[in-house]
């Protein structure tokens, strides 16, 4: 069974641009969550999608948005990029959007904002 | 609000030594789940174990063992006879049942195992 796939693996953008990251969950998983990892703030929850609906959102500005498609694939968008958005963005999938389910992570997208 | 504390930022051991990674958590909920993940240099978080708040039984999986103590709000992870391949950053995490899939992570412990 294929794991969580995130594309692209690396991105370089400049301030003010926007970026879209993609996540394909494990087959059969319907919940997708996104996390941002930086050296200063560590791993922080961005948002979670289940059945194409955002179920939970972390404490991030509105420049960060996402969506989920009917096949459970998810995209994350960051508009008007800032230097501080440079981070490793990790996507995780689980069977359902319940606490007990194990979240399986992808290898991440490393975003550098210049 | 919940919080996970991993006080050890970095640990260095020589291969075959035993090492324990500490994790202390805070939550007001009575039902919650605790996790440990491993992050090798490749970046992917690899799931190691899940424990629910009602199950304080310790668990052993090969060279890995976990000690969960609700009385001290701790969920410590021990690697026996460490190997170079164990070198990674290890994260402890917590989910409350009321916050669905929102994992709260500790800051991680970097383990360096040398020959």
Which pLDDT tens digit goes with each residue over A39-60?
999 999 999 999 999 998 999 9
Omega of the bond prior to A8 within 30 degrees of 0, cis? yes
Q: Average pLDDT in the B94-102 region? A: 82
Residue among B36, B21, B37 at smallest CA distance from B82 = B21
Both tokens of B61, joined, read: 């999986």
Q: Average pLDDT in the B67-83 region? A: 95
Locus of tokens 């999938």:
A93
Count of pairs with CB atoms under 8 A, one residue in A, one in B: 72
Instruction: Name residues of chain A where pLDDT drops below 50.
Output: none
Q: Please state, as a whole number, how many other Cβ atoms lie within 10 Å of the Cβ of residue A7.
A: 12
Say yes or no for a CB contact (<8 Å) between B91 and A110: no
Separation of alpha carbons A28 and A74, rounded Å: 14
pLDDT at residue A98, as a whole number: 78
Both tokens of B105, joined, read: 């992570």
| Chain B residues in contact with A90 (beta carbon < 8 A) | 43, 45
Separation of alpha carbons B97 and B91, rounded Å: 20
Both tokens of B87, joined, read: 């070198």
pLDDT at residue A1, as a whole number: 67
Q: Which of A26, A43, A54 to mutate to test the interface with B (most CBs of B within 10 A)?
A: A43
Say yes or no for a CB contact (<8 Å) between A102 and B47: yes
pLDDT at residue B1, as a whole number: 80
Q: Average pLDDT in the B98-114 region? A: 91
Beta strands in B1-115 (DSSP E): 3-5, 10-14, 19-21, 24-26, 32-39, 46-52, 59-61, 64-69, 74-79, 88-96, 104-105, 109-114
Confidence of residue B17 (pLDDT cuts 50, 70, 90): very high
CB B99 within 8 A of CB A56: yes
pLDDT at residue A10, as a whole number: 97
Interface list for B 66-85 with A (CB within 8 A): none
């Amino acid at each position: 069974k294929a794991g969580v796939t995130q594309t692209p693996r690396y991105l370089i953008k400049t301030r003010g641009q926007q970026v879209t990251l993609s996540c394909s969950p494990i087959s059969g998983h319907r919940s997708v969550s996104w996390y941002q990892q930086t050296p200063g703030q560590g791993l922080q929850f961005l948002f979670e999608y289940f059945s194409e609906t955002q179920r939970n959102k972390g404490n991030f500005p509105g420049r960060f948005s996402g969506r989920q498609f009917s096949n459970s694939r998810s995209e994350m968008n960051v508009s008007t990029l800032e230097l501080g958005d440079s981070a490793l963005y990790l996507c995780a999938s689980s069977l359902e959007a319940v606490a007990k389910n194990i979240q399986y992570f992808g290898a991440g997208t490393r975003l550098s904002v210049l | 609000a919940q919080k996970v504390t991993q006080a050890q930022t970095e640990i260095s051991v020589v291969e075959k030594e035993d090492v324990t990674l500490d994790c202390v958590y805070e939550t007001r909920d009575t039902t919650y789940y605790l996790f440990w993940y491993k992050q090798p240099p490749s970046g992917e978080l690899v799931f190691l174990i899940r424990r629910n708040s009602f199950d304080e039984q310790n668990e052993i999986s090969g060279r890995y063992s976990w000690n969960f103590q609700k009385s001290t709000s701790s969920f410590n992870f021990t690697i026996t006879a460490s190997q170079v391949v164990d070198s990674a950053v290890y994260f402890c995490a917590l989910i409350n049942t009321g916050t669905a899939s929102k994992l709260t992570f500790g800051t991680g412990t970097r383990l360096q195992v040398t020959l």
